[in-house]
Amino acid sequence: MHPVTIRTFLNKKEKKEKIIMMTAYDYPSAKLLDEAGIDAILVGDSLGMVVQGNTTTVPVTLEHMIYHAQMVSRAVQRALIVVDMPFMTYQESPQQALHHAAELMRLGGAQAIKVEGGSEIAPTVSRLTSAGIPVMGHIGLTPQSVHALGGYTVQGRTAHAARRLFADALALQKAGAFAVVLEVIPTEVAQTVTTQLQIPTIGIGAGPNCDGQVLVFHDAMGYTNGYVPKHNRVYTHLAESIRTAVQAYIDDVNSGNFPAQEHSIHLKAEELEILNQLNDPKTPPSQ
């Protein structure tokens, strides 16, 4: 089994093989994804929404990311572990970014980090990559800027906006990023970026022509309260299965159907006999 590295990403692009990434935030899900053969696991700051129940990723802290990255890195043998740098842990200065990226790698087990932003973040990407930290970029809909963008809306819809995205993607590549996530942009724009770049593009809501795809675990597994983004495919219905299972458990306990014989522990016959004798009111109390 060969572990996936950033080299694998570049090789896959060259060979026109798809790169498959999914988010995970804990040990059991990361283990299942890794065993299934996923190429990369993203410990995404989307955990702020799908795990913590916030409406944005803004409240997520570096400590949260380290905590979740530790669980994931304990589980993973093969996949590349990419960890998101959360809101305002890299935007202040390249030095701040370097310090925090090092924490994610040293304490969290990250093998690469992801930052949101285009040309404006290129000097930071450059600083990180020149220090030996693999960086994945992220442009298009960048959820940490949800308030500046005015909501979770499609980006790059006009020719001018699309050209800004091309410039951003090229700036990230020039700064040394090994891949770039394209989130919620028109298929044609994603296709052009993918063709123009030597590094792979990983799409989410960016059509089928990217070099790879990424999905949020909870969305793909139907483990949400019902809201599903348009670009997501629900591969199974975990929430429904859990609801059914919990109802069955409640019913079983109420009806006496659980625990059954096979879930119960019994005393050995000779111990039971002694206990019954001791409990017999005719047995004199022991001293």
The token duo for 263 is 């879930």
Report if residue 121 touches ligand KIV, rule: CB under 6 A: no
Choose, by CB under 6 A, the member of 4, 44, 81, 105 that binds ligand KIV: 44
Asked about 183 being catalytic, the answer comes back as: yes
> Which lies closer to ligand KIV via its Cβ, residue 75 or residue 141?
141
92, 116, 183, 262: the catalytic one is: 183
Q: Report the site for ligand KIV in 169-198 (rule: CB under 6 A).
A: 181, 183
Choose, by CB under 6 A, the member of 101, 112, 179, 204 that binds ligand KIV: 204
Q: What are phi and psi of 237, to 5 degrees?
A: -120, 70
Calpha distance 232→215 (Å, rounded):
7
> What is the torsional sign of CA 242, 243, 244, 246?
positive
> Which lies closer to ligand KIV via its Cβ, residue 1 or residue 148?
148
* Residues making up the chain, counted from first to last: 287
Choose, by CB under 6 A, the member of 46, 89, 191, 213 that binds ligand KIV: 46
Calpha distance 177→171 (Å, rounded):
9
> Which lies closer to ligand KIV via its Cβ, residue 133 or residue 179?
179
Cβ 260 to ligand KIV shortest distance, Å: 42
User: What are the residue ranges of helices labelled H in 121-259?
Assistant: 122-130, 146-149, 159-174, 187-196, 217-220, 238-255
Calpha distance 196→190 (Å, rounded):
10
> Which lies closer to ligand KIV via its Cβ, residue 23 or residue 124?
23
Report if residue 216 touches ligand KIV, rule: CB under 6 A: yes
Calpha distance 136→138 (Å, rounded):
7
Choose, by CB under 6 A, the member of 172, 214, 220, 221 that binds ligand KIV: 214
Q: What are phi and psi of 102, to 5 degrees?
A: -65, -40
> What is the torsional sign of CA 52, 149, 215, 79?
negative
Choose, by CB under 6 A, the member of 6, 42, 79, 162 that binds ligand KIV: 42
> Which lies closer to ligand KIV via its Cβ, residue 142 or residue 192?
142
Helix (H, G, I), strand (E, B) or coil at 34: helix
Q: Report the site for ligand KIV in 134-163 (rule: CB under 6 A).
A: 138
Which sequence positions are flagged as catalytic? 183
Q: What residue ranges bind ligand KIV (CB under 6 A)?
A: 23, 42, 44-46, 84, 138, 181, 183, 204, 214, 216
